Chain A
Amino acid sequence: MKQILVIDDDKELCELLVEFLQPEGFSVETVNEPHSGLRRALSGEHCLVVLDVMLPGMTGFELLRNLRISSQVPVLMLTARGEDIDRIIGLEMGADDYLPKPFNPRELVARIQAIWRRVQPGEKQLSESQSRIEFDDIIIDFGSRNVKQNGNSVKLTAAEFSLLYELLKKAGQVMTREELTQKVLNRKLEIFDRSIDVHVSSLRKKLGHTIGNRERIKTIRNTGYLYTQSHQEL
């Protein structure tokens, strides 16, 4: 059973979510209050947290910031539509994806499953791709979802991990934003959607902008991103 934690102050919505998600194969725990929500999220019993931005007492952002101090559990944020700044802030704080309210329930299931797949790579994915990549100062282990830089492990969110994995797999090649959005977030790139850019920017922050004196992840204007290879600079 896939354990999901929903933190939302809307009790009726939580009831409906439980009823709707159970047949899809998810076991849903709901919390209506942010402090106990944070405690439950930190318990490590859930494989995914659905977090509403508007919570009484503590905003979803604060909760997320506190959560990210010690936990990398995947987080799907429910934002208010039109509040673009919320989406960006959420992603910057380490949310894996967002869904604006009011959402289509089928879309919610699709997003949850996309994140789920990223966290729990299926047999098929593992066999077709390398499970371990070593590149410059970075070792990425797909099986244990571990990332090490110069021997020290780096805490990455699920989205950042997949992004790094995709970029490293094709190091030296340009990946378009469409391609990355599809592969990392499992959805089509929409207009004004800057999610992937936010993830790239937090990845840069965590790994460092440069390796030696070369730029680590290069922005290709109006196209996408490129994880640079050393020999390209020679």
Chain B
Amino acid sequence: MRSLFYKLFLSFLLISLLASFTTIMISYWAQVGPYGELKKRVGYNQLQALTHSLSITGLATVKIHESGGKEALMVYLEELEKQPYIQIFLLQEDNSNFSNRKLPPGAVDLAVSSRTSHDLQYNVSETAIMVALPLVSQDWQGMTLVGSTARIMRPPVFSDDKETEGWQRLLFFRHRFGLPILVVVLIAAAGCYLLASSLTAPIRDLRKATQQMSKGDFSARVDHLSGGKDEIADLSRDFNTMAERTQSLLQSQKRLLRDVSHELRSPLTRQNLALELARQRFSDAEPYLARIEKESGRLSELIDQLLILTRIECNIDNAPKKPVSLCKLLSDIVHDANFEAANQDRRIEIQNLDKVTVLGSMEMLGRALENVIRNGLHYTAAGSAVEINISKGEDDVAIIVRDHGPGVPQEYFEQIFQPFFRVAESRGRDSGGTGIGLAIAKQAILMHGGRIEARNAESGGLVIEIHLPLS
């Protein structure tokens, strides 16, 4: 469940982030192409404008110098300095300017080359456009005007400078887009979280109901169908229908069992009463009446056992599990069984009895142990003992019951746990029992998550080994 939630959440998040990243990249690259073209065109215009203004400025400079002398020129130059986008310098023959302003790099070279060629020179660099114009005047030799203007700047990310590429670009991104990216990621994460949890919540509900049901609470239903029409809502509805059916089936089975047990027992009860009445009237019929009583007892026992087996197999009783002390249980059973065993010259020996407590139903565990022990008592040879060994392992407890009887052929090891299975005719009726004791034992042990196995002891006799999980 958890992993499904995270899978959905992470994949949604990844997909949405990937999508937004792709969108950003597409819009970014779409600007790079037009940018180059734009820069070229603007650069050309800038160059023309610069040349133009330099020519006019040059004419104006010469005229002002001729008419107003050096003072007027200085005033004019100061005015020029105030121009916002263009820097204009007037260089003398020794390449010094009048205002001691710092010249842009390359300005002197350009001025020299224009002076020697007596013509306009220009230089277009990545960041600036510079134009040098020699002034023509009779009494004022070697003066050059240099104008410089900045070009459109590529933002640093667009820079083609290889060195700054990697981490600087990232840094720029962080600087520029850090907050928006964080917001986008957070919104995407919140959205994906809601989406993933809205998808997994019904599954979680469904699982809760399933778990409740597997624990035996058949009234468990998925509550929040959220009115949805999606597949999970359908599944939940189907689950509820299934649970409904199972519950009603179980209830009718339970009722049937009760009715059957009642209906079968009523005639037996009446028969017992009639028998007792007959006994009071006809004392000479006693041997036959005793026989009838015995058979009636057998029938009653058989019904009991069959009903118990059915109940365990259908797992109808979902009594809560309680801690059961195996020692106490075993000593009760042995105490009880030893009475009858002593009459038949057989006995029960407890060889090893570790103090063990398991979780389960005392009644069912008791029936399992009692049936296995009584089975051993039926078959063990006269004068011998049924040996019991309870030893605690690391995560389970082993209960070993061994008799000193004829044992069981290997091919029947599985089948002796089936109802009414008899190994041979000779081991039939006279040995007593209903033939379902071991089947009940097996089901009861399975119900407790344990296992039961039969094998022959090396020195003869049957060994029944039960393993029950601890806690």
Contacts and interface: CB of A to CB of B under 8 A. Distances in A.
Interface of A: 10, 12-13, 16-17, 19-20, 23, 54, 80-85, 101-106, 190-192, 222
B366 interface: yes
B304 A82 contact: yes
Contacts of A81: 261, 265, 300, 304
A191 B300 CA distance: 19
A23 B281 CA distance: 12
A102 B265 contact: yes
A83 B254 CA distance: 12
A13 B266 CA distance: 8
A10 B333 contact: no
Contacts of A54: 258, 262
Contacts of B304: 81-82
Contact of A106 (B265, B276, B307, B308): B276
Contacts of A105: 272-273, 275-276
A190 B370 CA distance: 13
- Among all A-B residue pairs, the 5 with the closest Cβ atoms: A102-B268, A16-B273, A102-B269, A105-B276, A101-B265
A145 B395 CA distance: 54
Nearest to B276: A105
Contacts of A106: 276
Contact of B261 (A16, A80, A84, A85): A80
A149 B311 CA distance: 45
B272 A102 contact: yes
B280 interface: yes
B280 A13 contact: no
Given A16-B277, A192-B363, A104 B272 contact: yes
Given A12-B270, A80-B262, A102 B276 contact: no
B272 to A, nearest CB: 6
Nearest to B333: A191
B261 A13 contact: no
A16 B258 contact: no
Contacts of A101: 265-266, 268-269
A222 B328 contact: yes
Nearest to A86: B258
A12 B268 CA distance: 12
Contacts of B345: none
A229 to B, nearest CB: 28
B266 A82 contact: no
Contact of A80 (B258, B328, B333): B258
Contact of A192 (B258, B308, B362): B362
Interface string B151-175: 0000000000000000000000000
A101 B271 CA distance: 12
Contacts of A102: 265, 268-269, 271-272, 296, 300
Given A20-B273, A191-B332, 17 more contacts: A13-B266, A13-B269, A17-B273, A80-B258, A80-B262, A80-B265, A82-B261, A82-B308, A82-B311, A83-B261, A102-B265, A102-B268, A102-B271, A103-B269, A190-B336, A191-B366, A192-B362
A191 to B, nearest CB: 5
Contacts of B280: 23
B60 interface: no
B72 interface: no
B274 interface: yes
Contacts of A191: 332-333, 336, 366, 370
Interface string B45-63: 0000000000000000000
A70 B72 CA distance: 131
Interface of B: 258, 261-262, 265-266, 268-277, 280, 296, 300, 304, 307-308, 311, 319, 328, 332-333, 336, 362-363, 366, 370
Contacts of B366: 191-192
A176 to B, nearest CB: 13
A132 B297 CA distance: 45
A75 to B, nearest CB: 18
Nearest to A190: B336
B440 to A, nearest CB: 11
Contact of A84 (B258, B271, B332, B363): B363
Contacts of B274: 16
A222 B324 CA distance: 12
Contacts of B261: 80-83
Contacts of B333: 191
A80 B328 CA distance: 27
29 contacts: A10-B269, A13-B269, A13-B270, A16-B270, A16-B273, A19-B277, A23-B280, A80-B258, A80-B265, A81-B300, A81-B304, A82-B261, A82-B308, A83-B258, A84-B363, A85-B319, A101-B268, A102-B265, A102-B268, A102-B300, A103-B269, A105-B272, A105-B273, A106-B276, A190-B336, A191-B366, A191-B370, A192-B366, A222-B328
Contacts of B296: 102
Contacts of B258: 54, 80, 83
A75 B187 CA distance: 73
A100 B300 CA distance: 11
A69 B333 CA distance: 39
Contacts of B336: 190-191
A85 B332 CA distance: 20
B258 to A, nearest CB: 7
A221 to B, nearest CB: 9
Nearest to B362: A192
A41 B366 CA distance: 38
Q: Give the residue among A10, A20, A103, A192 with the most B Cβ atoms within 10 A.
A: A192
B307 A82 contact: yes
Q: Give the residue among B276, B362, B370 with the most A Cβ atoms within 10 A.
A: B276
Contacts of B265: 80-81, 101-102
A222 B335 CA distance: 14
A82 B274 CA distance: 24
